[in-house]
Chains A and B, each alone.
Chain A
Amino acid sequence: MTRFVLGTVASFGLAAVVWEAFARSGLFSPALSPSLAVILPALAQMIVSGTIFVHIAYTLYRILWGLGLAALLGVPVGILMGRFKAVERFVLPLVSVLSPIPSLAWVPLFILWFGLGDAASIALVLYAATFPIVLNTWTGVRSVNRIWIRSAETLGAGARDLFQKVVLPGSLPFVIAGLRQAFARSWIAVVGGEMIAATSWGLGWVIFDSKEFLRTDVMLSTLVVIGFLGLGFERLIFQAVERRTVGRWGMVRTVGT
């Protein structure tokens, strides 16, 4: 543990030194690569004035709407695909054609369809998040151990019990993995979408807008915030959910328990 803390401190210390050397080397003008003495006050100022929290709130609002809708759509579709061959045969070709299209390729079209603002960003997140959820849920349902299903049937479980008590928990590790992947993709989609389609708030928008005013200090502060937020989601929320459910049921080994 101490080794981890020391390593982390040394790591960020080294990153800071490298950045500082780069900033003061005169390779780029100070306006383009500000030193930490400029970046940190900018970050502090954004925190004190509270603007950064408004940006975060807007971004989270968009991502949660998109991700929530994607889960509502993707999990049932994935389960149906896993349970009924006909659904699988119908949906799979569509998913395999649509999922390799980067969500951001749709931005210009979504702007035309939904206008600038929240709706376009949410639609973008929805597009980005749905496919990983569908594919992982589908895999999860198919990977439920046959023996579990047979023994539940032998013990007299009805179709409903079978689904609720065996198939659903059995596929949960995959569903969670899908949500995790979906979050990573939405995170990219929302930042990109906000750059092109947002109007006044959002982490992606603030980076893009700062370019106009050459506020590289604000850009870098926001980048750091984006990095830590993404890491926080991954480490705090998804790992906690995993530990509480599938980890506790002994289905997967979780890290850091």
Chain B
Amino acid sequence: MFRTPTVLYLRRAALSLAQLALPFVVVAILWEGFALLGPFPPRLFPRIGKIVSAFVRLIVTGILPLHAAETLLRLAAGFFLGAVVGVTVGMLMGRYRWAEDLLVPVVSVGNPIPGLAYAPLFVLWFGLGNLPAVLLVGFSATFPVVVNTWTGVKAVKDIWIRAAETMGATDRQLFRKVVLPGALPYVLTGLRLGLARAWRVLIAVEMLTSVSIGLGWLIFGAREFLNTDVMLAGIAVIGLVGLALEKFVFEHIEQYTVVRWGMLER
């Protein structure tokens, strides 16, 4: 029996799959052991079988997809708001000295305040429900976008700008063809950080503004009934969505823009 490349490939794939699975198997065994022997009653620390069956049940009945869709919609709306405001303000700060002088101190104090700290205030201002959640998500996403866009515009090489000016670029062309693409790697980093922050805030804010549907709310509501299996299934979905946002959305955007232009190595 000679080994074809396919066999070798399959064997290697199986091996790396086993390697990938090993840590999860070990954790699962530890979890089961703790659930059986640990100090918590099974209601508070469910066994894996229960979590998986809750997960499957919630998917099949369409409850989990419904909550996830609602949360994603809110995330998209809030993030869009934050991205538009953030890129605009960041560009202004990078281009005009007066904007920079005025805004840098406010941004540096505002940036470390957790978006969630505004949640009670936003609830008082805008009531419960979708509006405060979306606004708060947008507000929190704005700061990293502003800071990175500003840095990006300032990091555009002087030589590029001078070269474009020498060749007779108008202000508008300079902005569109040099400053914007030159700042893009930073802007993308900012958007990425903004999205991550928006995602974190959104989950928490859903717990506080009592929206009627949403992943954060699903977890928080399940606490009332001690449904720890539902909570853990919800947490798993939140992790998966977060991972997918990071892996599939932004790596592709980077691939198609800055990596293709040779500005960033992959």
The CA-CA distance from A12 to B105 in the complex, in Å, is 7
The CA-CA distance from A11 to B119 in the complex, in Å, is 25
Interface: B200 (CB within 8 A): yes
* Chain A positions 169 through 200: 1 when the CB is less than 8 Å from some CB of chain B, otherwise 0: 00000000000000010011001100110000
Chain A residues in contact with chain B, CB under 8 A? 3, 6-8, 10-12, 14-15, 28, 32-33, 89-91, 93-94, 96-98, 100-109, 111-113, 184, 187-188, 191-192, 195-196, 203-204, 207-208, 210-211, 214, 216, 219-220, 222-224, 226-231, 233-234
Distance in angstroms from B97 CB to nearest chain A CB is 9
What are 6 A-B pairs with beta-carbon distances under 8 A? A89-B19, A97-B243, A104-B207, A191-B116, A207-B120, A220-B121
Known: A102-B199, A102-B238, A228-B109. A94 touches B204 (CB 8 A): no
Q: Which B residues touch A184, using CB under 8 A?
A: 112
- The answer to whether A106 and B235 touch across the interface, beta carbons within 8 angstroms, is yes
Within B243-263, which residues are at the interface with A (CB < 8 Å)? 243, 245-246
Q: Which A residues touch B234, using CB under 8 A?
A: 105
From the candidates B44, B112, B215, name the one contacting A187 in the complex (CB within 8 A): B112
Known: A104-B204, A219-B121. A230 touches B113 (CB 8 A): yes
From the candidates A97, A104, A112, A222, name the one contacting B116 in the complex (CB within 8 A): A104
The CA-CA distance from A28 to B228 in the complex, in Å, is 40
Most B CB atoms within 10 A — which of A102, A196, A210, A211?
A102
Interface: B110 (CB within 8 A): yes
- The answer to whether B119 and A100 touch across the interface, beta carbons within 8 angstroms, is no
Distance in angstroms from A44 CB to nearest chain B CB is 19
Q: Which B residues touch A195, using CB under 8 A?
A: 116, 119-120, 208
Q: Which A residues touch B239, using CB under 8 A?
A: 97-98, 100-101
Distance in angstroms from A215 CB to nearest chain B CB is 10
The CA-CA distance from A102 to B199 in the complex, in Å, is 8
- The answer to whether B120 and A112 touch across the interface, beta carbons within 8 angstroms, is no
Q: Which A residues touch B235, using CB under 8 A?
A: 101, 105-106, 109
Most A CB atoms within 10 A — which of B26, B115, B200?
B200
- The answer to whether A11 and B223 touch across the interface, beta carbons within 8 angstroms, is no
Q: Which B residues touch A111, using CB under 8 A?
A: 223
From the candidates A32, A187, A234, name the one contacting B114 in the complex (CB within 8 A): A187
Distance in angstroms from B217 CB to nearest chain A CB is 10
- The answer to whether A231 and B109 touch across the interface, beta carbons within 8 angstroms, is yes
- The answer to whether A113 and B105 touch across the interface, beta carbons within 8 angstroms, is no
Q: Which B residues touch A203, using CB under 8 A?
A: 117
Interface: B91 (CB within 8 A): no
The CA-CA distance from A207 to B121 in the complex, in Å, is 8
The CA-CA distance from A33 to B122 in the complex, in Å, is 11
- The answer to whether A11 and B114 touch across the interface, beta carbons within 8 angstroms, is no
Known: A105-B238, A226-B113. A11 touches B219 (CB 8 A): no
Known: A100-B246, A112-B226, A226-B113. A94 touches B124 (CB 8 A): no
Distance in angstroms from A211 CB to nearest chain B CB is 4
- The answer to whether A7 and B24 touch across the interface, beta carbons within 8 angstroms, is no
* Chain B positions 115 through 143: 1 when the CB is less than 8 Å from some CB of chain A, otherwise 0: 11111110111000000000000000000
- The answer to whether B242 and A11 touch across the interface, beta carbons within 8 angstroms, is no
- The answer to whether A7 and B105 touch across the interface, beta carbons within 8 angstroms, is yes
Known: A11-B102, A230-B113. A107 touches B120 (CB 8 A): no
Interface: B155 (CB within 8 A): no
- The answer to whether A227 and B102 touch across the interface, beta carbons within 8 angstroms, is no
- The answer to whether A108 and B220 touch across the interface, beta carbons within 8 angstroms, is yes
Most A CB atoms within 10 A — which of B23, B44, B114, B120?
B114
From the candidates B45, B101, B117, B246, name the one contacting A191 in the complex (CB within 8 A): B117
Q: Which B residues touch A14, using CB under 8 A?
A: 102, 106
- The answer to whether B114 and A96 touch across the interface, beta carbons within 8 angstroms, is no
Interface: B40 (CB within 8 A): yes
- The answer to whether B114 and A192 touch across the interface, beta carbons within 8 angstroms, is yes
The CA-CA distance from A107 to B204 in the complex, in Å, is 9
- The answer to whether B102 and A223 touch across the interface, beta carbons within 8 angstroms, is no
Distance in angstroms from B75 CB to nearest chain A CB is 12
- The answer to whether A11 and B105 touch across the interface, beta carbons within 8 angstroms, is yes
Known: A101-B238, A109-B231. A7 touches B104 (CB 8 A): yes
